[in-house]
Every structure is written in structure tokens, then in C-alpha cells.
């Protein structure tokens, strides 16, 4: 009796013959496409067999979804069946010529069993698209087709699906049930593909669905190369999503780049094209492993101004003298010193604590750790409203590598772990058996959606929010998603929407396209809920034929709303130039993109008091410490320098909706540089003093912090890693009501001189895109607003003040900024010895 037969008898495993699996009948509308298996007959294991009848495919799961064990764990069996495809892998095989392949697997009890494999486990199809190249993704697992949640859905995942379906190498990820909702069954919360896998089962970071996916969150795919912005790029082989070997798509193939002359300037362009923030770093000598296939590019010489790698000067395609040992790589590291994370658990609110410092993650020793320490960690991670506790020893396993912190001393009120006292980095007397673990109580801040009640009527989803609990309200009617007009929109309507989505907390209505403008139809207007309804479809409303709205009036909601009053208490000690929200919610920075609330906490806006209820500020400004704000002198050219005429807003996001952290303050003093003349553009800089005692004018909070000033004598290296302008600037000939952000490259002095002649001086700098395809300049910001560049330690430095330019978005004339580093002495003199009021 063979080992397999003995196992079969010992464990009495029930066998689900994959060739008998059938798929229930499905009705697909005639105007959509269904990419699926080519036969309507019951699924069978008919592919992947050799001429001798041995299965040689790549399925590595049993028909119940259990992962197969490697054959080398059963050496006697490998010896018994030589030359039958068994080896150091976990693919299903039939060395005994069974009609169906099978494998050994580990049962939940720890015992070893065997089972047949489903040859179609992990099959994919696209449903509901207008062509075979697009649709809602559905995956076949355990005999059922189900969707993939869009929570962590990326272009890399979509590209793998397209490759698996034979629809090319490039895929674009679409979210929010773009192709309509499915059956309601979800298989995966995350695929976690790197982009170079051949099928989704090769993606090693797959995570089965939890409870936070529902109708409106099905992932969609378009299998087509994106238009514009250069040849597509991807990063392959890195441990994190933001790093890897650079590969470029050309002539229908992926290929690598030779590292000759490869430097951080080239890396900056790669990061910008991929929409990745953080600090760009170039890697050489196949740091992320050697690629295969063609080497497409060599001797790239980017200036740093380009928005795509293809715009950089380079040798002709495939003209090189390299091999794959010289494959170029990039990291776009978004982490800054002091960032923390919890690992070793399936939940983001608990785990072994790790902290980031000088490019490395390391653990923290648990000496003298108490709830006070845990509270600080949980607060830094965004879990600030519930209890926090130190986990029992070893609950989340032992770490490896560095132990970075010991002798940490927290009072419990600190905003970050770095604000607590601690020993010198890396100095400790601990082992990894003393790694501290932390458990945070979610306290209503989780993005999980509870089980949904049975709802009749149209489906509802929330789009473009910062979590699943908020966003623009969209309704699925007549086969299309559409928005809701905000006429009469109030908290009662919001409560019904949130109730339909399964939330039970306080609901807050948002109007005036607070979460951005939708596209397509506006389905509903003048919604009039009583508050007793269980779904929006039960509320009286006018339909799409009766409204008089534009998408600038799209309605939104915040569910489980918890107001966060500003307060005037003690100042929270914060480090300048740090964006406190970026750790738990990173988002791409691209030209003219809507920002995230609190992302740029030093942004201020200057309003005329008589027009403070308008929809656009007079100027932008930047908070540089608790009592002083920096802006442009020309902001006061028309209305004078009497501070009683003006109002400053801090913590503002939407100009027509009051935000939790928003404050309106009156300046008590305006100081314009004495050499500024209203007819010129030199010395375009001014300071505003806020009311209050020195150092205590404004209490910092998660949405209010100061930008750093440049260090005296500081000169950037080749070029700053990233520069961003922010403001409520012009987009499509109209002002934005939500705070915008745009990534702009600094330009060399000679290019600025060439365009502006003698008017451009050493007290200025210019920045913007010189590309005709992507035009980004200071029109996306506001006069007097900040241009900040990310410096050492991830801190953002106020490098320029938006000053002047010719036209808007004209690549021939980039925006001009007051160079802040040239005015440090003046700023110091005024802020330390201000003129008498």
C-alpha cells in the first residue's frame, strides 16, 4: 500500500472530484462581455497534462482551498516516483496516474492529509464591461465565482489579471463597482501582487475577505495601456510597494533599464511618474534582483523636470552594453524617522511594535512599558478614542534584526512615540524575547463595515472619502451609478444613507461637492427623508429628469461622525514640517489633485473680513510658528495693511463647509518687507502676527502645525526630493473649493533667466512642468501660498512663496516664487523684535 493510500485510509478524507464541479447558471446581459472558461460544461482538469498522462500545471491548492505542501517534505514518495514531476515545489501532481492531480496538505489539527486539486481554482473573468478587455473582476474559488474588494486594489493587481486572461501586460484598476455590483459574494480583500506574476495565485500577499466589503466596493479592470504620460513603468522585486527593479513597457514587452549614469534625479522622475511620494533613491547593480528579457534603456540623463522617464534624454531603445547584473532600481520611501507600525497580527490595531529610524525598522524593548506608553502608540496610529494596553509577552512573536528603542518614558499625553524620552537609538540590554506588543481599542475608528441589513431599493455607495465611512453619495439606478444633488441635503438624509450601509453612529451631511465632483448622471434631488427609513430609496425625492443641479452640488456624508473640537488648551509639542496624518493614510500626489484633510497642516488662507463668507480666499499663507504667518507682500497691494480688514483661517479644507479643526483668527500686525514696491516683484514677502502671548498664539493639533524654515546657508544637493504647492487655485478656469496639491519640479536658474530675463533675480526661484502634456504650475496654488520641499528626516521645508508668473499652465513661463532662504535674517529680526503696534 502506498503512502498516499495509507494517508487516505487513515484520515478518511472526503473527496470532491474536481471534474464534477459545476457552476450554477448565470444570466449575462447581451450588451456586456464575459471573459471566462471557454466551455459551458462542468469544469474539468483537462489542461496541463503531458502526453504520458502526468499533470504538469501550476495549481497549488486543494479543491477546498488549502495550500499544498512541498513534495520534498515526503522524500520517500519522491524516490518511489522518479521522473514524475515531483520536486522542490508545491504544485499538484498525479505521479500514480490518478485521473485528477492531488497533493498533501496540513489539516487544521496539524495532521497531514491529501486531497484532489481543483484545476480551475483561481480562474478569473471580467463581467459587465462594454468590451472583452474590461469589466468587474470575478474569481473562481471553492466552486463559486466571487468579487475582489477594492480596498487595496492596485494597477499591479489589474495587470496580473490581464496577463492571466491573455489580454496583455497592462491593466488599470477601477474602484467603487465601476462596472456595477455583483452577487454580493467576495473572495479576496487584497491580492497584493507585485505586477510580474503570471496569475493571481502567484501573488503571495493574498488575503481572504473580512467583513469590510459590500456592494459598491467590487474591483474592476481595464486591460489597456494608459494613454499619455510616457511608457508605463513598474517596480519589481522589492519588499515594499514603493521599491523595486524599474521595468518599462515598450513594444508589447516589459524590459529593464541599465544603471549607467543612474542617479537620484532619474529616481525622482520614476517616483513622480508612478505617483509615489517619499524620498527617491537610485539603486544599482541589480539591488532588487536581476530581470529577464530585453534591456530597453541605457544612459538616462534626466534633469528632474520631467513627468515621465521617457521624456529624459537616453540612448536609442535597446542600445546598450549592459547585462542584467546592471539592472537599475528605485525606492520612493514615504517613511520618516519615528513612524511606528504593528506587525505579527492580522489586525492593524494590534501587534508587535516596530519603529522606523535611519532607513531601518526595528523593535522596542518592553522594559517599564505601561498603558501610558501604549496610549501614545495608539494615538500616533490614529486609534485615539479607545483603551490601549500592553500585550502579554510573546503574543505576536519575536522580531528579527534591530532593537531600536529602550528605556522609553511616556507620560501618556504625547502625540508620538518620539516625543517620549528614550535611550540613544540602538542602545539596549534586551533580546527579541522582550519585544513589546500593543493592542489598541478601535473605538469607532476602524474602517470595517458591520454586517448589512436586508435592504430593498437601489444600492448606495460612498466615493472619494478618506475611509469607508465617508464620501460622495452615489446611487445605482438603471444600470448606472449617479450622484445626489445637495438641495435640501441634511443630517437626517445622511443618517438614512449611513443606516443603509450598516453604520449606527452619528451621521453628518456634507454638501457642495465636499468629496469632489462626480461624473455622469445626477440621479436624485431634493431628497426628503423623515429619518425612519432604512434605505435612501424609501425617501421622497425628485428624479434625474427634474433636477437643476451641477456636480458642484454633489451631496456627501460622514458616518460614525465624531466631532473633534479645536479647543484652546495647552499647546501640543510638534515638530515643524511633519504631516501627522500621512502615516496611516498615504495617497498619491499628482498634478492638481485634491488633498486629504489635515495633510498640509501649515496651510493658511487670508480673507478680506468683508468677503470671508465667499468661496475663494484673497491669498494663501503659511504658518511658520505659533504666532507668525508668512505670505506675499502683493496680497496687501489693493486693500492696504490694516490688520482689522483681514481674517486668517487655519485648518481649512473646504472653503464653503466649516471643518472640525477650522479656526478664523484676526491678525494684530502686518509687516511688509520695506524694499517691496507695488509696481515690482522683488522682495515679495510679508509677515502676519497673530493675537496672543509670544509662543502661545495658536494651539497645534492634528490639522494645525508649522512648516520648517530652510536652515541657514542650506543648499539642496542636486535637487530637493519632492516639492509641492497647495492652495485653492484655478482648475479648468474655475476656483477649487477643496484644498489642492500639485507636485512641481524646481527649475535651474538659467532656465528661469532665459524665460524672464532681468526681471528674475537671485531672490526668486521658479518651478513647474515644462511638458506640454502635463501642465502644472502655481495656478494650482494661491498667491502667497507655500511651495514646500521634503528635506532630511522627511520634514517639509517652506522653500518658496507663490509670487508671480505669465499666464496659467504655460510651459514656456513657469511660476515664480519668493526664495525664502534669502529672507531668513529678515524673518528672524521681525519675529523676535516686531515693530510696535
Q: Active-site positions?
A: 634, 684, 783
Q: CA 461, 465, 466, 468: dihedral to nearest 10 degrees?
A: -10
Cα 328 to Cα 291: distance, rounded to the nearest angstrom: 10
Parallel, antiparallel, or unpaired: how do β-strands 360-364 and 402-405 relate? parallel
Cα 460 to Cα 523: distance, rounded to the nearest angstrom: 12
Q: At 739, list the grid cell.
A: 484644498
Strand ranges for 383-497 from DSSP E:
388-390, 402-405, 437-440, 459-464, 470-477, 480-484
Cα 562 to Cα 491: distance, rounded to the nearest angstrom: 13
What CA–CA distances, in Å, run from 743 to 273, 276, 578, 832?
11, 11, 17, 33
What CA–CA distances, in Å, run from 673 to 231, 325, 497?
47, 56, 53
Cα 604 to Cα 649: distance, rounded to the nearest angstrom: 6
Q: CA 97, 99, 104, 105: dihedral to nearest 10 degrees?
A: 170
Residue 715: half-sphere exposure toward Cβ, Cα within 13 Å? 3
The residue among 194, 188, 175 whose CA lies nearest residue 147 is: 188
The neighbouring-strand residues paired with 392 are none
Collapsed DSSP state (helix, strand, coil) of residue 409: strand
Whose cell is 484673497? That residue is 618
DSSP 123-172: -EEEEEESSTTEEEEEEEETTEEEEEBSTT--HHHHHHHHHHTTS-S--E
Strand ranges for 673-820 from DSSP E:
686-690, 723-727, 730-731, 734-735, 740-743, 764-767, 786-790, 796-804, 815-819
Cα 251 to Cα 316: distance, rounded to the nearest angstrom: 14
Cα 285 to Cα 189: distance, rounded to the nearest angstrom: 35
Cα 411 to Cα 407: distance, rounded to the nearest angstrom: 13
Question: Which residues, in sequence order, are CB contacts of 248 under 8 Å at separation 6+?
Answer: 231, 232, 233, 254, 255, 256, 257, 296, 297, 309, 310
Residue 775: half-sphere exposure toward Cβ, Cα within 13 Å? 14
Show the 3-state SS of 743-778: ECCECCHHHHHHHHHHHCCCCEEEECCCCCCCCCCH
Q: What is the H or E stretch that residue 296 is in?
A: strand 295-297
Q: At 181, list the grid cell.
A: 455590483
Q: At 137, list the grid cell.
A: 473582476
Question: Which residues, in sequence order, are CB contacts of 810 under 8 Å at separation 6+?
Answer: 775, 777
Whose cell is 474591483? That residue is 219
Output DSSP code: residue 258.
Answer: B
Cα 816 to Cα 803: distance, rounded to the nearest angstrom: 6
Amino acid at each position: 500500500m502506498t503512502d498516499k493510500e495509507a494517508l487516505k485510509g487513515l484520515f478518511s478524507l472526503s473527496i470532491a472530484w474536481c471534474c464534477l464541479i459545476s457552476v450554477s447558471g448565470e444570466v449575462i446581459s447581451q450588451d456586456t462581455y464575459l471573459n471566462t472558461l471557454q466551455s459551458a460544461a462542468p469544469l474539468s482538469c483537462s489542461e496541463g497534462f503531458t502526453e504520458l498522462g502526468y499533470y504538469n500545471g501550476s495549481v497549488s491548492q486543494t479543491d477546498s482551498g488549502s495550500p499544498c505542501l512541498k513534495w520534498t517534505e515526503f522524500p520517500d514518495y519522491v524516490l518511489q516516483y522518479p521522473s514524475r514531476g515531483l520536486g522542490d515545489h508545491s504544485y499538484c501532481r498525479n505521479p500514480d496516474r490518478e485521473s485528477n492531480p492531488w497533493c498533501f496538505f496540513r489539516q487544521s489539527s496539524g495532521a497531514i492529509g491529501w486531497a484532489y486539486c481543483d484545476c480551475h481554482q483561481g480562474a478569473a473573468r471580467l463581467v459587465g464591461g462594454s468590451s472583452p478587455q474590461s469589466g468587474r473582476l470575478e474569481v473562481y474559488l471553492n466552486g463559486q465565482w466571487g468579487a475582489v474588494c477594492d480596498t487595496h486594489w492596485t494597477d499591479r493587481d489589474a495587470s496580473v489579471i490581464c496577463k492571466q486572461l491573455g489580454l496583455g501586460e497592462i491593466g488599470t484598476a477601477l474602484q467603487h463597482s465601476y462596472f456595477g455590483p455583483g452577487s454580493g459574494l467576495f473572495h479576496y480583500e487584497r491580492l497584493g501582487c507585485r505586477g510580474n506574476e503570471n496569475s493571481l495565485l502567484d501573488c503571495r500577499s493574498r488575503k481572504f475577505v473580512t467583513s469590510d466589503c459590500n456592494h459598491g466596493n467590487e474591483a474592476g479592470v481595464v486591460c489597456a495601456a494608459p494613454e499619455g504620460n510616457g511608457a508605463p513603468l513598474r517596480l519589481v522585486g522589492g519588499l515594499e510597494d514603493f521599491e523595486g527593479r524599474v521595468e518599462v513597457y515598450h513594444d508589447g514587452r516589459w524590459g529593464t533599464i541599465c544603471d549607467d549614469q543612474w542617479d537620484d534625479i532619474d529616481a525622482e522622475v520614476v517616483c513622480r511618474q508612478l505617483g509615489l511620494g517619499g524620498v527617491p533613491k537610485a539603486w544599482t547593480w541589480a539591488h532588487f534582483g536581476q530581470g529577464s528579457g530585453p534591456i530597453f534603456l541605457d544612459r538616462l540623463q534626466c534633469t528632474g523636470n520631467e513627468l515621465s522617464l521617457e521624456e529624459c534624454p537616453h540612448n536609442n531603445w535597446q542600445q546598450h552594453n549592459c547585462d542584467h547584473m546592471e539592472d537599475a532600481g528605485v525606492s520612493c520611501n514615504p517613511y520618516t524617522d519615528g513612524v511606528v507600525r504593528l506587525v505579527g497580527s492580522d489586525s492593524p490595531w494590534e501587534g508587535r511594535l516596530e519603529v522606523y529610524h535611519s532607513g531601518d525598522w526595528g523593535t522596542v524593548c518592553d522594559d517599564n512599558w505601561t498603558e501610558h506608553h501604549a496610549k501614545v502608540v495608539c494615538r500616533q496610529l490614529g486609534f485615539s478614542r479607545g483603551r490601549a494596553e500592553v500585550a502579554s509577552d510573546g503574543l505576536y512573536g519575536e522580531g528579527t534584526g534591530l532593537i531600536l528603542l529602550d528605556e522609553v518614558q511616556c507620560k501618556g499625553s504625547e502625540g508620538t512615540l518620539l516625543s517620549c524620552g528614550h535611550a540613544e537609538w540602538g542602545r539596549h540590554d534586551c533580546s527579541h524575547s522582550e519585544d513589546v506588543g500593543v493592542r489598541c481599542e478601535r473605538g469607532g475608528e476602524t474602517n470595517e463595515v458591520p454586517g448589512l441589513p436586508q435592504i430593498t431599493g437601489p444600492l448606495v455607495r460612498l466615493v472619494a472619502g478618506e475611509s469607508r465611512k465617508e464620501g460622495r453619495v452615489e446611487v445605482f439606478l438603471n444600470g448606472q451609478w449617479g450622484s445626489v444633488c445637495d438641495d435640501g441635503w441634511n443630517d437626517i438624509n445622511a443618517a438614512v444613507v449611513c443606516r443603509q450601509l450598516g453604520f449606527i453612529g452619528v451621521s453628518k451631511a456634507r454638501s457642495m461637492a465636499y468629496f469632489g465632483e462626480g461624473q455622469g448622471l445626477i440621479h436624485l434631488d431634493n431628497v426628503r427623508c423623515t429619518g425612519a427609513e432604512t434605505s435612501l430609496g424609501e425617501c421622497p425625492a425628485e428624479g434625474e429628469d427634474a433636477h437643476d443641479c451641477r456636480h458642484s452640488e454633489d451631496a456627501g456624508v460622514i458616518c460614525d461622525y465624531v466631532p473633534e473640537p479645536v479647543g484652546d488648551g495647552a499647546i501640543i509639542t510638534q515638530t515643524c514640517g511633519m504631516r501627522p496624518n500621512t502615516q496611516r493614510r498615504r495617497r498619491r500626489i499628482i498634478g492638481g489633485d485634491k488633498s486629504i484633510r489635515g495633510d498640509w497642516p501649515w496651510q493658511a488662507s487670508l480673507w478680506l473680513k468683508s468677503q470671508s463668507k465667499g468661496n475663494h480666499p484673497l491669498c494663501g499663507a503659511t504658518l511658520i510658528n505659533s504666532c507668525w504667518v508668512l505670505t506675499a507682500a502683493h496680497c496687501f497691494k489693493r486693500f492696504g495693511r490694516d490688520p482689522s480688514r483681514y481674517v486668517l483661517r487655519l485648518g481649512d479644507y473646504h472653503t464653503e463647509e466649516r471643518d472640525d479643526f477650522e479656526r478664523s483668527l484676526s491678525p494684530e500686525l502686518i509687516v511688509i518687507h520695506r524694499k517691496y514696491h507695488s509696481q515690482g516683484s522683488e522682495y515679495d514677502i510679508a509677515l502676519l502676527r497673530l493675537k496672543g502671548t509670544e509662543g502661545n498664539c495658536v494651539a497645534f493639533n492634528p490639522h494645525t502645525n508649522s512648516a520648517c524654515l530652510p536652515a541657514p546657508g542650506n543648499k539642496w544637493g542636486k535637487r530637493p526630493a519632492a516639492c509641492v504647492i497647495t492652495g485653492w487655485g484655478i482648475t479648468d478656469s474655475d476656483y477649487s473649493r477643496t484644498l489642492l496639491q500639485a507636485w512641481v519640479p524646481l527649475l535651474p536658474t538659467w532656465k528661469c533667466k532665459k524665460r524672464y530675463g532681468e526681471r528674475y533675480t537671485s531672490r526668486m526661484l521658479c518651478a513647474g512642468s515644462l511638458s506640454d502634456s502635463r501642465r502644472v504650475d502655481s495656478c494650482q496654488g494661491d498667491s502667497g501660498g507655500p511651495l514646500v520641499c521634503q528635506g532630511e528626516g522627511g520634514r517639509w521645508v517652506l522653500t518658496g512663496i507663490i509670487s508671480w508668473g505669465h499666464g496659467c499652465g504655460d510651459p514656456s513661463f513657469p511660476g515664480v516664487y519668493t526664495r525664502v532662504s534669502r529672507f531668513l535674517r529678515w524673518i528672524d529680526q521681525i519675529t523676535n523684535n516686531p515693530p510696535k503696534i
